[in-house]
Structure 1
């Protein structure tokens, strides 16, 4: 594992208003080949943290570095190193599935040979072979979510930011996504994954970050989280409940 974190957040304070920040002195790192679970209640600050990483929001205080670079120092290097899967699919209605993948591949400089191999594998993995030339307006919500996931994975950035990816996916789609993320991770990719389905991500993430009301209240491996919660051996759902129940 590289000594330089793929993602490093130091002292991040930010939100939609200077007078009422959502995030308060957030600090964490994502190393090479790590899958980190970002968990918390609605409004805990997970999506706001992701928006700051993506450059959609500007920190009030603190620094965010991707592969050692801040966005204002080298925007091209910063953004080319990450891909994002949002909670709600956002597609162009009059573009086909294939055209979405091709558009993304060109943006990331993916060669035609790599595109053909990756798009073929992804369409088979997510059972979308017969939908590749369908307009997105004709797809179900679950299929649209699969297209967003496929677009992110047709590129091969260093860091994936994935926000609630399981919404709308069928059980086979969820399993395919998890297995593919494990494969990407084994190849050195890093993943910051937000999800409410704690029982699903418990055995896949290397570490967890528990956020509540804009601060990190626990972080570490499942064992370390259990120690912080005072419940060794308990499942992640129980640990999370124990950590936040007195703070709501």
Structure 2
């Protein structure tokens, strides 16, 4: 099972961005959704987390249809947005208890996992801080802790490394790999393809709102005559293809 997106069409404000998008994020796998700006990545993520209803097609997570039971669907998701979202009036500790309570898991066992994650990201001595005192990187780390503490069946991560130091980036990768080993699915967007090739199982390439490629990092590199180490050049090739296309 896992996440299954079938013939998804969607967008916003009447603008049909996605056209018959179909792909899966199996349980225990890490899937990266990639493409140039405007390809439809963020729109896809917004439909998956339930921010926008699809125009057509279906989105299922472990056989639960988001259109039929959105609450049960969303209960299975942990989400790390590109831009951190925090409440100005809540301390770090209050934020985390609030999120645990919203998932009905605000107990000692889960709080112990929270403390481990806080120590990993060097936030364990900032439980009583308000967001106004956090740097951008620290805000992002709060969102990371809040997502990983849930151990959800599906982790959705939108550009997880923005604002993070090198050590924190490595910790996030290890945690995503741990999620997959535990049988959870991970869907992320990233522009760092060279490093993603070391831990991603499948790349899904979006182009103009449609799926252009689905396959392993090795298959993507081979298709474009690149080495895994030079996979970041994929975006340069994609840009050239777009610029050289028909007018």
Q: Which TM-score tier does this pair reach, normalised by the shorter chain?
A: over 0.9
Q: Distance in 1 between matches of 2:169 and 2:140?
A: 11
Q: Which runs of 5+ in 2 are unaligned?
A: none
1:12 aligns with 2:33: no
Q: What pairs up with 1:73-222 in 2 under 5 angstroms?
A: 73-222=68-217
Q: Give a deviation string over 1:47-96, Cα, whole Å, max 9, x none.
A: 10000111111111111111111122222221111111100001001211
How far does residue 111 in structure 1 lie from its aligned partner after superposition?
A: 4.6
Provide the residue aligned with 1:47 in structure 2.
42
Q: Secondary structure at the match of 1:15?
A: strand
Q: Distance in 1 between matches of 2:195 and 2:51?
A: 29
Q: Is the 8 A contact 2:53 2:67 kept in 1?
A: no
Q: Distance in 1 between matches of 2:39 and 2:141?
A: 26
How far does residue 109 in structure 1 lie from its aligned partner after superposition?
A: 1.7
TM-score by length of 2: 0.92
Q: Distance in 2 between matches of 1:64 and 1:181?
A: 22
TM-score by length of 1: 0.92
Q: Is the 8 A contact 2:5 2:59 kept in 1?
A: yes
How far does residue 230 in structure 1 lie from its aligned partner after superposition?
A: 4.4
Q: Is the 8 A contact 2:11 2:54 kept in 1?
A: yes
Q: Distance in 2 between matches of 1:108 and 1:185?
A: 21
Provide the residue aligned with 1:57 in structure 2.
52
Q: Give a deviation string over 1:185-230, Cα, whole Å, max 9, x none.
A: 1111110011112222121111101112211211110122133334
How far does residue 240 in structure 1 lie from its aligned partner after superposition?
A: 4.2
Q: Distance in 2 between matches of 1:138 and 1:125?
A: 19
How far does residue 17 in structure 1 lie from its aligned partner after superposition?
A: 4.0
2:218 maps to which of 209, 218, 223: 223
Q: Kindly report the root-mean-square deviation, in angstroms, between the aligned alpha carbons of the 2 structures.
A: 1.6
Q: Distance in 2 between matches of 1:178 and 1:246?
A: 31
Q: Secondary structure at the match of 2:12?
A: coil
